[in-house]
Chain A
């Protein structure tokens, strides 16, 4: 656990060092740029290739040698993908699931971490261990039984079933607990002297202070909720309740089908864009979240 704190410190120091430093030796700087640019290009190539395919006609897609420049059929392919996979509904479902998982988990973990850090109550140790033992076992190791619980509750093929079982993990609680413990006691004392009750203290003091942590957790959970594959596959039956990552499966050409990879890639581009945009736009909090949630 201390290891990751060190990583956080290392990342922060590196950022400062990067800003202050001036080039020491030109050669090593040039080599570094070459390596980093090469890495960036190699990483970007598959995405570029997928995008290029999504703009081509069927003839261009299946011709050899492969064409690596964008073509003119983009609008048609995206419209086809949109209509055939009922993309509007899929993306809406993914957005609902990703937002509900992120907001729900942040809300319940803010509250439980507050209770654990700022109150003494009977059974606190037991509650603490019950919550934190969930960190050990991710959803994939108990799929059949979790599905049975959901079906007993009548939640199969509902948004409840898609989201609530994913909330049973302590990553958020752990993060907020760690953070609350670094807040000086004086703050709570001052609040109490001013006559603020616990809920007022949570709302007016802790919540504003936790903004960066909330943002960090939000990025990680949004991406997780949007990209999760196993759980929505199990818990939904009807096409209307599918999320985007599993819903586009029908567009992927299998051996006996027309190789409409241009349409499949158009669908893939639409599905991958939202989480990638969230990461790029909220990059600072993403790095923070990546470090904090793995503790």
Chain B
């Protein structure tokens, strides 16, 4: 806390007013309105709301399609985060040497972050295109299996996972590399003298020392894959084929804005909110225990 403060009665209120106004209008009001709306459904003509208590939640929790979306979301986010981070860490560990030109590499690694998920999706959509794409063409030499993501749900999921990882991979690698370079060589040399092999050294020393970087990247990638990948799904797969790529945010949007079931969509928003709060809490619990400083 500052000891020096400016004595002024009304000025601080004027200074926080813009932010407070925006926060109340576009955060608190919608958040409470979601809670309220989730207890209603629209009348058949859509002209008024009918109170149905927890009806929307009952419907959601007995809808297998909703649980498929929950599963899809978690599988998608886990793949993007764990796979993306694991490969980045592996490559960073292998490339950890005192080399020239790190700044140049960093530039060449960071730029994909600027590409919108939807645009990344469109590019990979063509790479995966069943008729003209380079990837199915190359795979056709190896196998006769049709990697047609228009028809096969798992290929569509792989497509959006690859596009999402592509966008994130460069800075995952850049941050791991920076983190590794900051570990003093003397620590590893000491372990080496004590007879620890490279793999042992990695798991006993390097990985724990990197835990702040891992935690940071994990949070960033989870948030990204949960909330910022809507455009990717919307522009590329439209949640399909079937509902194999309908992640939670996509389903909430679809039920609310295409299906016009406002209450049902609001109930999904409420569940999403609870999920985010739970995940954030779990994250900080974990950070307290496992992240070494």
Contacts and interface: CB of A to CB of B under 8 A. Distances in A.
Interface of A: 2-4, 6-7, 9-11, 13-15, 17-18, 21-25, 28-29, 31-33, 35-36, 39-40, 43-44, 46-47, 49-50, 53, 61-62, 64-66, 68, 107-109, 111-112, 114-121, 124, 127, 130-131, 134, 136-138, 140-149, 153, 164-165, 167-168, 170, 173, 181, 185, 188-189, 192, 197-199, 201, 223, 226-227, 229-230, 233-234, 245-246, 248-249, 252, 255, 259, 261, 264-265, 268, 271-272, 275-280, 283, 286-287, 290-291, 294
Contacts of A116: 16
Given A3-B216, A62-B131, A112-B15, A234 B235 contact: no
B146 interface: no
A24 B97 CA distance: 8
Contacts of A65: 137
A133 to B, nearest CB: 8
Given A146-B26, A164-B22, A227-B116, A46 B216 contact: no
A199 B15 CA distance: 10
A6 B212 contact: yes
Contacts of A130: 20, 23-24, 28
A19 to B, nearest CB: 9
A259 B25 CA distance: 44
Given A14-B179, A127-B16, A23 B99 contact: yes
Contacts of A49: 123, 126-127, 134
Nearest to B124: A46
A70 to B, nearest CB: 15
Interface stretch (B74-82, B152-160, B271-279): B271-279
A146 to B, nearest CB: 4
15 contacts: A10-B179, A15-B178, A46-B127, A47-B115, A62-B132, A124-B12, A130-B28, A143-B257, A147-B257, A168-B27, A230-B231, A255-B150, A264-B126, A276-B111, A290-B171
A3 B283 CA distance: 12
B290 to A, nearest CB: 11
A17 B181 contact: yes
Given A121-B12, A142-B34, A146-B26, A226 B175 contact: no
B121 to A, nearest CB: 10
Contact of A275 (B11, B26, B116, B150): B116
Contact of B169 (A43, A268, A276): A43
B98 A23 contact: yes
Given A25-B97, A32-B99, A280-B107, A189 B19 contact: no
A221 B257 CA distance: 26
A264 B122 contact: yes
Given A39-B173, A230-B249, A192 B4 contact: yes
Contacts of B266: 144-145
B145 interface: no
Contact of A118 (B6, B25, B28, B212): B6
B94 interface: yes
Contacts of B137: 64-66
Contacts of A168: 22-23, 25-27
Contacts of B178: 10-11, 14-15
B269 A143 contact: yes
Given A3-B216, A268-B123, A144 B98 contact: no
Contact of B98 (A21, A46, A148, A201): A21
B29 interface: yes
A192 B166 CA distance: 52
Contact of A61 (B110, B132, B253, B280): B132
Interface in B1-49: 2-6, 8-9, 11-13, 15-16, 18-20, 22-31, 33-34, 37
A53 B126 CA distance: 10
Interface in B181-238: 181-182, 211-213, 215-216, 219-220, 223, 227, 230-231, 234-235
A18 B102 contact: yes
Interface of chain A: mostly helix, strand, loop or mixed: helix
Contact of A265 (B3, B30, B126): B126
Contacts of B276: 136-138, 141
Given A3-B291, A35-B91, A142-B31, A10 B182 contact: yes
Contacts of B133: 66
A13 B53 CA distance: 57
B216 A4 contact: yes
A6 B211 CA distance: 10
A149 B171 contact: no
A146 B34 CA distance: 9
B136 to A, nearest CB: 10
